[in-house]
Amino acid sequence: MTRLPDFRLETYFSRWEFTARHHMTASDVQTMTLGELLALADEQDRAAFENLPLGYTETYGDPALREGIAQMYERVDAADVICFAGAEEALYLAMNVLLDAGDHAVVVTPNYQSAETVPLALCEVTGVALDPNRDWALDLDQIKAAIRPNTRVMSVNFPNNPTGKVIGFADFTELARICDEHGIHLFSDEVYRGLEHDPARTLPQAADLSERALSLNVTSKSLGLPGLRIGWIACRDRALLSRLERAKHYTTICNSAPSEVLARIALKSRRKILDRNRALIARNLPIFDTFFTEFADAFEWQSPDGGCVAYPRYLGPDGVEEFCTRLVEEAGVLLLPASIYRSELTPTPTDRFRIGVGRANPEDGLAAFSQWMRARR
């Protein structure tokens, strides 16, 4: 296995995430406190949390948590679920289990960096880029052209990070069919599912479409609970889940017992939490619309289809990298420039930045952003 490169996003965040005055590029929705989450617990789960033995837990995950996760799917049972310490561990181990040196993978770009770099460290990878000139459309003909006889994995992410794109139902189901036809595992990153701005555009979950497909999800993004560090993979191929369990023995072994109980509480109140988070984004988007309308000469703005991040285009002559650097240094406003999402597989836009729309009270950060922009005119 090739040594993995620095994780650009995390390196950038290590420098700025907790020092910038205005974190305007968050990829998660506004979180809640422990007390607020426990207030949603039923009597049984509250007692379980207060009297929890702090010992090891099951490698597959707490049985009650796995049952709660399975209820989110149409064709998945608790035995089809394995839990991890966040989505990153799940992604890393899945790629290492699914791919060997002689294999090939296809990855849609732009994407979360490890969706590309982990497969690249294991085998040959072909990228298929979403088209920014066609509302980030996914070309299924390019997908078909990228497939080889030794293709083992097709990796996608919708709603997409960083673009907020949600492809159509027909395209997604056809993608699953193509993968099944060629014996490919569809690896579907679904961490923003539930935050579609039009609920009618919510895609089916890959694990419901195919027995070979893997659906990745986590409490961090749509539920806004990244501190729990609880993610999971749902897949009806139980032999594959057994291989994932054995791989997990080399990483975390098991999850945090308190986090599993808290995740169970969150999933039982999932509808209420998602309603709250969608309402927060719906409140915020007009505020961002107003900001970008004022500075239409500097930005090309489009609301995301889903999730809580967007990927506007910067039109200034100084370039987006210098723009983002000066903005955080001079105004304390943190954005993610396009270089964080560059790809070794495909060309990617060099004039965009990620901005988050899911945190509470973005007015303060946008006010600092506006003041800085006006001073530059």
Q: Which tokens is 209 given?
A: 């479409």
HEC string for 26-56: CCCCCCCCHHHHHCCCCHHHHHHHHCCCCCC
pLDDT digits (tens, 9 = 90+) for 195-216: 999 999 999 999 999 999 999 9
Which secondary-structure segment (H or E) carries 217? Answer: strand 214-218
- CA–CA separation, 335 vs 342, rounded Å? 15
Q: What local confidence, expressed as pLDDT, does residue 9 receive?
A: 87
Sequence spans of domains, the chain? 8-33+272-376, 54-268
CATH number of the domain located at residue range(s) 8-33+272-376 in this protein:
3.90.1150.10
Average pLDDT taken over every residue of the chain: 97
Q: What local confidence, expressed as pLDDT, does residue 1 receive?
A: 54
| Signed CA dihedral, 361, 167, 162, 105: sign only | positive
Ranges of residues in the chain with a pLDDT under 50 are none
Q: What local confidence, expressed as pLDDT, does residue 377 receive?
A: 80
Q: What share of the chain has pLDDT > 70, as a percent? A: 99
CATH number of the domain located at residue range(s) 54-268 in this protein:
3.40.640.10
Q: What local confidence, expressed as pLDDT, does residue 268 receive?
A: 97
Q: How far, in whole angstroms, is CA 139 from its chain's centroid?
A: 21
Contacts of 13 (CB under 8 A, 6+ apart): none
Residue type, position 359, single letter: R
Task: For the beta carbon of residue 135, count every other beta carbon within 10 angstroms.
Answer: 12
Angstrom distances, CA of residue 201 to CA of 80, 168, 293: 25, 7, 26
- Contact between 314 and 350 (Cβ < 8 Å): no
